[in-house]
Amino acid sequence: MRALRVVGITEGGDVVLEDSGRRERFTVPADEQLRAAARGDLTRLGQIAIELESQLRPREIQARIRAGASVEQVASAAGVPIQKIERFAYPVLLERSRTAEVAQRAHPVRTDGPDVRTLGDVVAHTFGLRGQEYTEAEWDSWKGEDGKWIVALSWRAGRSDNRAHWTFQPGAHGGTVTAVDEHASDLVEGLPARPLRPVGPVIDIARPEELPPTPQPAAELRATGSDVVRERSP
């Protein structure tokens, strides 16, 4: 790599560099990228690199992560390596993790008001009643389109992947959470796990018109007005 030194500025504002050994001079545009490099601002240099390679600005990247997207999803949308997204995603992922942790200390809202217990305690108790392992469940959070935080719990029961969602409202004494779906409501109410829907033979779920006709009995029925008279075969 050749070493250059700054020797001046052109009338147009470009920086003039010189190779002292070869007496050659070069000009470099004094753009934002050069100014960031001169300041040693590595963060800004990374942002500029992302903006040059992708249609997504760092602020947009963080907004997508905050809305629940993964690093892999944003990297794919931006068309850049995952490593270039991670530096901007890291603080937002910490925010999501921290919010999910705080929400577990919030109080579930019931019909008669907030529960005195916390969401984490209530859910752990329900898992115990169901014989499921609470420590294997995973918490997450993100901001919904309305700007409110959504808290989610994911767990596996048998071969079924389950998710429960609550809206989280920070406030005094830990704030409150409100169930969004049936799984979340069942966990708060301490209800057993919802049974899987059995799959029966095709004939059991066929429409009535698709079922075979019912065999006719030996004796036929003949209706006369509102009376029914049985006719026997001769």
Lowest mean pLDDT among 50-64, 138-152, 175-189: 50-64
Q: Are strands 149-157 and 220-224 parallel, antiparallel or unpaired?
A: unpaired
Q: Is the pLDDT of residue 187 over 50?
A: yes
Summarised one tens digit per residue, pLDDT across range 173-184 is: 899 999 999 999
CA separation for the pair 190, 124 (Å, rounded): 10
The larger pLDDT score, comparing residue 31 to residue 155, is at: 155
